[in-house]
Amino acid sequence: MRSVLLLACLLGLSLAASLERKPHHCSKYLCIAFVSTQNEKAWFYAGYEYDAWQQRIRLYETGTYNNQSFTYDVLLLYGEGVMYQIDTKASKCTKQPLQADFMPLGVPPNASLLGQYVIGSSSGPGEGLLVDTWQGKAPDGAQYMVTVTEFGCIPVIFNKWNLYINTIKGILDPSSLSPPSFCPGLDAKPEGTPVDFFTVVSNLKKIAV
């Protein structure tokens, strides 16, 4: 069974709607967290923190699978080209090479508009959310489709299966986007097979499909 990822933080989005506004390319810098649906074998909660200025992403999840608990926690530092896999409970950390370019959330200039529509109703104020859906090709050649709010350019849906909810701007704990003290230092050479963002997300979602 395919699960839909619900991406969330702490504050809700305003439901502004206006069909007269012209869609535009945009980019925002957001902190996002998310929680998955359940299936017959697994339940998990995951978080996502994102810093476009310094090109840093933190992904973490915890949950149960076949009645056994698990955690998965990684920090991607694109500026340094490394990924840290972190086990805070055991104070263990590995450092791997990170490949591929950083791709900001938002709508790149080369994206093509598919359409503008209202989620909910346009019959009255506050009854719907005006969104734009765009498609394009990432720097590595992968196709993508993204739906963002017309006002604020907040991501709503990415590639059909990832649904963002209760998004806020800003990072609640800036230290979470730096390696813990027990991780290998900056001078330590990354080890292992190079990874990219999609490999990491695949590992994050592998029990939910």
d(CA 20, CA 177): 39
| Residue ranges per structural domain of the chain | 30-106+164-208, 107-152
User: Cα 178–208–40 angle (5° rounding)?
Assistant: 135
Whether the full predicted model's pTM is greater than 0.75, yes or no, is no
Three-state DSSP state, 207? helix
- In the chain (209 residues long), the average pLDDT of successive 10-residue segments reads 38 33 56 48 71 87 78 92 94 93 80 92 89 85 86 81 70 87 91 83 57
pLDDT of residue 8: 37
Query: Per this entry, what is the length of the chain?
Result: 209
Q: In the chain, which ranges are continuous DSSP H helix?
A: 197-205
